Copies of this chain bind each other. A is one copy, B any other.
Amino acid sequence: MTDQRVAELVDELPDGVVVTDPDVVAAYRHDRAADPGAGTALAVVRPRRTEEVQAVLRWASAHGVPVVPRGMGTGLSGGATALDGGIVLSTEKMRDITVDPVTRTAVVQPGLLNAEVKKTVAEYDLWYPPDPSSYEICSIGGNIATNAGGLCCVKYGVTTDYVLGLQVVLADGTAVRLGGPRLKDVAGLSLTKLFVGSEGTLGVITEVTLKLLPPQKVASTVVASFNSVAAAADAVVEITGKIRPSMLEFMDAVAVNAVEDKLKMGLDRNAAAMMVAASDDRGAAGTEDAEYMARVFTEHGATEVFSTADPDEGEAFVAARRFAIPAVEAKGSLLLEDVGVPLPALADLVAGVEKLAAQHDVMISVIAHAGDGNTHPLIVFDPADADMAQRAQTAFGDIMDLAISLGGTITGEHGVGRLKRPWLAGQVGPDVMALNQRIKAALDPANILNPGAAF
């Protein structure tokens, strides 16, 4: 039985754009957060053009139907959880890209994968830096909606730093162009920046103008093992105060062992922590940075330090770090945290998480973009064990409370979504919550766009 309103939408859009097949609709209930509160949408809509997105939002506003925008569904906070009585608007079919090597920009539709953006611009000898670990499966539109981070942020910043312009469809169906291929532009409020990271609550991104850089230079990589997490964290703080590494990643003992179980690449199973660091400064400068980092690691008691200027060898360690999440996931279901703290609190955060793991009797592995103070405690649990699942949930919340108590954030790069929303007020306080709400109400007064997400 098709809802009468949905029948109207089907009539308004080209054939195949609106899908009501229950199996398809069911496949769009969750993003990777597997939000247990997920509903079932009336339909999944997969537009190809901005005008189609406008039609969807005009229809949704007319009927008061909530719209959940969705990229590739790789979000980890439930930002794209389907709602009963709503629709899911997937941008996956919007996949155009045009690269302009003269302005060093790319105009991209939201459905292209981050990896596809990187690959296409590389054909013009250009580079799009942001590199979430999921870059091979996540969409650029989702990256912008969450202001995604990644491994190279420590030197190259996050997604917002590369967004020069957007085309956005507002709740009422109006399409606006914000910014554009201008490297400096302060005409009017910084609306482009406001929409980046707004998790689909203010508008649907239908096109983005990205700033590109000349290609990254080959990096020198340094890998170090520590028998103390605190020692590794201290080394991080010393390094970032002095130089600008292009990567500064951390894995704890659980992650190292989980990766070693799968990849068997000879990682030190007895290490309490492993660091993967790199410098992409050119020529002698990169080597100098690598030597400096190796020295700092040694001075902070690293038990093993290995340096390489060979890009393949270096990439193997980066791949190991990227593989940490799937490797730990092999041990059970995951609740994936994303808390961040000011750098000096990094060791306290990791130690606090370890305590919480013991207290709640769950396994928690910590990996981190250490140079940014952004950690991903991975809480492992057996979903068939209801008590353990509950303890994992409690730990999930306690970790956010811990981060807040250390002056940190409940989310460094994944977004608040639905899973972290109950903790947001605890971080930002009632006045900032009210400010978020005032802007939301000004732009989406009927609360059509992703209601219940973010704030």
Contacts and interface: CB of A to CB of B under 8 A. Distances in A.
Interface string A111-145: 00000000000000000000000000000000000
A177 interface: yes
Interface string A21-42: 0000000000000000000000
A394 interface: no
Interface stretch (A6-14, A308-316, A323-331, A368-376): A368-376
B174 A455 contact: no
A71 B415 CA distance: 35
A180 interface: yes
Contacts of A178: 432
Given A282-B285, A283-B283, A190 B193 contact: yes
Interface in A137-165: 146-147, 149, 153-154, 157-158, 160-161
Q: How many copies of this chain? A: 2
A265 interface: no
Given A182-B409, A344-B102, A188 B416 contact: yes
Given A102-B237, A183-B374, A416-B188, A157 B149 contact: no
A436 B285 CA distance: 45
A412 B185 contact: yes
A242 to B, nearest CB: 6
Given A157-B161, A244-B214, A284-B283, A187 B442 contact: no
A412 B442 contact: no
Interface in A168-226: 170, 174-178, 180-191, 193-194, 196-198, 201-202, 213-214
A343 B187 contact: no
Contacts of A282: 281-282, 284-285, 288
Interface stretch (A59-67, A296-304, A423-431): A423-431
Contact of A197 (B103, B170, B182, B190): B190
A297 to B, nearest CB: 18
A319 interface: no
A443 to B, nearest CB: 6
A56 interface: no
Interface string A335-346: 000001111100
Contacts of A371: 183
A147 B344 CA distance: 29
B409 A185 contact: yes
B438 A190 contact: no
A86 interface: no
Given A147-B190, A182-B373, A174 B431 contact: yes
Contacts of A373: 182-184
Contact of A283 (B157, B189, B285, B443): B285
A211 B71 CA distance: 31
A9 to B, nearest CB: 24
B197 A186 contact: yes
Contacts of A101: 241
Contacts of A410: 187
A288 B283 CA distance: 11
A189 B147 CA distance: 10
A104 interface: yes
Contacts of A197: 186, 189-190
A155 B172 CA distance: 39
A188 B424 contact: yes
Contacts of A340: 182-185
A240 interface: yes
A104 B241 contact: yes
Contacts of A183: 153-154, 340, 343, 371-374
A161 B161 contact: yes
A181 B345 CA distance: 11
Question: Which 4 A-B pairs give the minimum distances between C-beta atoms?
Answer: A193-B193, A442-B442, A282-B285, A184-B412
Given A187-B428, A188-B433, 5 more contacts: A103-B344, A160-B190, A180-B407, A184-B372, A282-B285
